[in-house]
Amino acid sequence: MGKEVKTNAMRILDKHNIPYGIILYECDEFVDGLHVAEQTGVPAEQSFKTLILRGKSGQYYVLALPVAEEVDLKAAARAVKEKSVELLPVKEITAVTGYVRGGCSPLGMKKQFPTVLHESAALFDTIYISGGRIGTTISVNPDALLSVVKGCYADIIAHG
């Protein structure tokens, strides 16, 4: 078996001595996080998707929320202390983050942007996030993840 090719996300976790697991899955193109959770057999409520937002100030933000949930942009704006935020258009994701849609990890972007993890992650010892490329999922402790990205927990999902 060949040597596992490390992603930037994995290198950052290694640098901080944070243990993580790697789950590889077959995928040729973007599929949503719910399908990835089903395919890999991990619980959907512990699987987190990464969204990139732009604030009214022009600042970029990283949100990680459960794959089955939708972001509440007003709650997200409050969490990052902006008047308003909008989802970054798909065509701009690679230029801003260095990642492609579907392989965007909260770790290892071109720059470290302010990061918010949905508060439900705190309920688990392990959550699953993108490993930094399509076909790779990383399992990691949410508190450890936040310590590396210097992020915070907040309620950023739409309710009702």
pLDDT in tens, 49-62: 999 999 999 999 99
The 10 Å Cβ neighbour count of residue 88 is 18
Percent of the chain with pLDDT over 70: 95
Is the domain defined by 8-154 classed in CATH 3.90.960.10?
A: yes
Tally of CB atoms within 10 A around 51: 21
Distance CA 58, CA 142 (A): 27
Neighbours of 43 (CB within 10 A): 12
CA neighbor of 154 nearest in space, from 30, 53, 57, 59:
53
Computed over every residue of the chain, the mean pLDDT equals 91
Is the predicted pLDDT of residue 43 greater than 60, yes or no? yes
Q: Is the pLDDT of residue 68 over 60?
A: yes
| Torsion angle of C-alpha atoms 130, 38, 142, 72, degrees rounded to 10 | 80
pLDDT score for 2: 45
